[in-house]
Structure 1
């Protein structure tokens, strides 16, 4: 009998989290009203994105729209920022959380960075380790995902955020805060954004990377950077040399979705949809394994664990495949100088697309795989 696979692999929105019918309606209206504009090249010459979209993103984040640069997804934002920040760096060192988003590490390394991990705790970076690193080498930038981190689910606490901003000012490094999950909070109080803290800290520098992929639609490919004056134009010069101009249709549709309130309406739908899945996922892990969560997230997509295993990761993953599980290799989320604790496998367990019964079945299979791997 074929066993249906439980997918603990990709963190993508389920279909029911994307307001496809409403987006299609907005697209039809845009195509009727101004087809000539959206099927032409966007303006060139330091073009920072559709004006209406930047204004709407400025309202959404309570920032001046002149500080917003729109990209084709957040990975492009990361790529452009890495090129911008590493181009003139005398020491191309980049610090990241360990574990962290694996594609970000790949991008930084492609731009010549030496990427080093700082251990992640239940409430953010291990600041003792970070301070020790800073005494010997100041990075070009520190990359963090402070809200419901991918892959761990960790949210950086208020006190640690303030200390990170203080360290940025003291040592002169830039913080890249990546916030794709920030709006997906199901409970608790949101800590202050790093960008807001930097605004009142003399000498601190924070660049914020956002995306509409998790709150509206990944297919629209809308990411953005919020930076200090001058940064959007510098990124625009880089972007034009790579792809000339963005896709006007997608940016105009995204702008209308924000202006019409669709994004905020969809966020409320997503929270109602995901919270029961989150609660059931946390409980399933606790009942099966005990308190081995890296944290209990208050939102986002992920629960993560350091699962004790009696063998190496390769043998465990083979046993998991035999149990009908699709997993992402946990060690891939660690930079080359970092690793999960000895005797454990790091597992990112996305819950956003699984009903409670399917997630619980996946956890049961994980337990069986851990017992079988020798």
Structure 2
């Protein structure tokens, strides 16, 4: 297998891992105002992802860095042509990360409500915009002979791309609801299960439509299999949610996300960014790649360090595997002023 193909698979693996892991983070953030009826319950939701959310975002950083190093032409065209959507994602992720850290700095309700809104929008915006971006990659964009994007922002907001955004949003909300059903207990879990039963219907309708259109317009014969597995994952998640099998439901939503992303990348190959003007302007794994020596050094590094990172993150999930509920959330202690001391009676 050529080095360029190896790194295309590696980039696809990184993006798939990112959407699988960060997907339920986004879903939990989007469900924060729905499932958390008071501050204690909202803290349950945030504590469910608290130990892992920043580690999940590392997959995005590594995917971007790997794209830059292995396919610099792809990186340059993607980050310049999709500048505004990617800027919206970056700002949302920054605000979301700050909100996680600053929410608990003060006990005032209005302070925490503001950061809760930041977490909500910092989760919803990336969940939607990532779908818009990857749908446009699958569909193709206007690239000229210099591999520069010559379209406009409104061109990126076409109906197919917007459907892709709704697909990732509904999938991530479902993924987050199922994760909370698996990770929490008590009233929060009961409401998460009810939300999951509604979200899975929306995910099947929206996601199924998007995948079918993608397969008919941009797919290959082999991607019928990946589309079928993604659809089976959603149907299996619906059955598991109805039967209260939280673990199987999470496997189902995870499989749906993984194979939906795999479908997009397999349909894309060997292009990395198709041109809608003419196929000659498209970026491919060949004309967008770094030098063979660079790819060789990167491959050695990836073989050494990737298993270590995966093992470490797996250990983190194992350590924090237990369910949590409101009883695990310490209540704030009220500060009491010391009673004033009485002056001693004067000696007689």
Question: Does TM, scored on the shorter chain, surpass 0.5?
Answer: no
More strand by proportion, 1 or 2? 1
Q: Which has the larger radius of gyration?
A: 2
Query: What TM-score results when the alignment is normalised by the length of structure 1?
Result: 0.28
Query: What TM-score results when the alignment is normalised by the length of structure 2?
Result: 0.29
